[in-house]
Structure 1
Amino acid sequence: MPTPKKGARLGGSASHQTKILSNLAAQLFEHGAIKTTDAKAKLLRPYAEKLITKAKAGTVADRRNVLKLVPNKDVVNYLFNELAPKFESRDGGYTRIVKLENRKGDNAPMSQISLVLEETVSAEATRATRAAASKKAEEAPAAEVEEAPEVEADTATDAAAEAEATEDSAEATEK
């Protein structure tokens, strides 16, 4: 059994702190994002990320361990069946904390903690896309050269049309 946290706790007792974290994690998984105080958000982040890591493994033992920590079966089913597959490509960093304005009543610092559901872009993928873009850029001038004679042909016919127009206007002035 891990040793309990020393010092001040959320809510007063250790058991109350675990209940608070359990409820916050359940609400985070259910809604995707929640607003809470900075202290609660900072304690919730590692708690929720460990639960998501267990959900990614997906074993029966992991499901039972998560059910001990979050006793809401609907939320645990949602976590294992729908959220965990979304995080398969991610190695960590499943949550994001964004600082908000202080709470109006007691001026407590507030934060929004949310799940990061966007696709991750690895450094290798960005290098590959940049390399592909540079190859396309090298091929593009060759295509422009092929189109260039068509533009010249259009300008030649335009020049001939302008010459006819000037001849017609010259004839009209002579009459």
Structure 2
Amino acid sequence: MRHKHGYRKLGRTSAHRKALLKNLAIALIEYEKIETGVFKAKELQSYIEKLVTTAKQADLNTHRYVFAHLQSKSATKKLISEIAPRYLERNGGYTRIQRTRLRRGDASPMAIIEFVS
């Protein structure tokens, strides 16, 4: 049972899960809208919202913190300079998840995750 357990394992090892979330976050920052599985999207939402909240400060330590989580210079720069300033007046709720379809191959529920405008 997973009573009060903090995260979804997504059927992966911890290193694989960390790499998956990092790559999904980079893709979301780059394209601002991606389609993925519902459970991956829900985990990504928690991951990216913490980064956006931190990125709103926009100082050197923020750059280092975000880069440590993303390992992508371009995604870090875009998050801090373009995306985070949009949400200075907002206290959370930076992303939206919309369920879209069932994937044809395995009938997995899919969802679009995007930044709220």
TM-score, length-normalised on structure 1? 0.61
The equivalent residue for 1:157 is: none
Aligned to 2:31: 31
Shift of the 102–53 alpha-carbon distance from structure 1 to 2, 3 Å rule, reads: same
Matches within 5 A, 1:150-165: none
Uncovered stretches (5+) of structure 2, i.e. residues with no partner: none
Partner AA of 1:94 in structure 2: Y
CA distance in 1 between partners of 2:94 and 2:45 (Å)? 9
Displacement of 1:6 after TM fit?
8.1
Aligned to 1:15: 15
| Cα shift at 1:9 | 2.2
In the alignment, what sits opposite 2:80?
A: 80
CA distance in 2, matches of 1:78, 1:91: 20
Going by fraction, where is helix more abundant, 1 or 2?
Answer: 1
Over aligned residue pairs, what C-alpha RMSD do you find? 1.7
Distance change >3 Å, CA 93–CA 8, structure 1 → 2: closer
Q: Deviations over 1:70-108 (max 9, x none)?
A: 001001001111111111121110000001110011000
Quote how far apart the aligned CAs of 1:59 are: 2.0
- Secondary structure (helix, strand or coil) at the match of 1:89 reads coil
Q: Aligned AA for 1:18?
A: K
Q: Which has the higher strand share?
A: 2
> For residues 49 and 6 of structure 1, do their structure 2 counterparts lie closer, same or farther at Cα, with a shift above 3 Å needed?
closer
Please name the residue that 2:99 is paired with: 99
Q: Which runs of 5+ in 1 are unaligned?
A: 118-175
Cα distance per residue 1:116-161 (max 9 Å; x no partner): 02xxxxxxxxxxxxxxxxxxxxxxxxxxxxxxxxxxxxxxxxxxxx
8 Å contact from structure 1 (residues 102, 108) kept in 2: yes
Q: How many residues align?
A: 113
Q: Distance in 1 between matches of 2:39 and 2:112?
A: 11
Contact 1:25–1:70, Cα closer than 8 Å, also in 2: yes
Question: d(CA) in 2 for partners of 1:41 and 1:78?
Answer: 20
Shift of the 89–16 alpha-carbon distance from structure 1 to 2, 3 Å rule, reads same
Q: Which residue type is aligned with residue 84 of structure 1? A: A
Q: Is the 8 A contact 2:8 2:43 kept in 1?
A: no
Q: Which structure carries more relative contact order (alpha carbon 8 Å, separation 6+)?
A: 2
Deviation at 1:58, TM superposition (A): 1.1
* Structure 1 residue ranges, 4+ long, deviating more than 4 angstroms after superposition: 5-8
CA distance in 2, matches of 1:94, 1:60: 22
Larger radius of gyration between Structure 1 and Structure 2: 1
